Amino acid sequence: QVQLVESGGGLVQAGGSLRLSCAASGRTFSRYAMGWFRQAPGKEREFVATISSSGVRTVHAGPVKGRFTISRDNAKNTVYLQMNSLKPEDTAVYHCAARDGAISMTPSYYDYWGQGTQVTVSS
């Protein structure tokens, strides 16, 4: 069982930056691939980024590539999402998720989810 708690969301002006954190419980964090997803009101959950269990491999979605960076610190049981050059269309609830397997961009492949943290970007 893995419990995930996100933090770091908030209100920021367009062009600003935020760093999201996702703290995981348990001693097996380093075996899980991790992902960040977001969901805006009235829209489906959308893939943002994923990172392999070792941190060697990462994949970022097209709309955030070059602006967002996923990383992890297995010693701290934490995964991060650095978000730069934020745009109003990035406004959403951001969730982290854990998968006991390879990285994936498909939400249904993930085993554990956090409650999410709100990110609001004003124009």
pLDDT over threshold 80, residue 6: yes
Provide, rounded to the nearest whole percent, the portion of the chain with pLDDT above 90.
97
pLDDT, position 26: 78
pLDDT over threshold 90, residue 110: yes
pLDDT, position 88: 97
Positive or negative torsion for Cα 51, 6, 122, 40? positive
Provide, rounded to the nearest whole percent, the portion of the chain with pLDDT above 70.
100
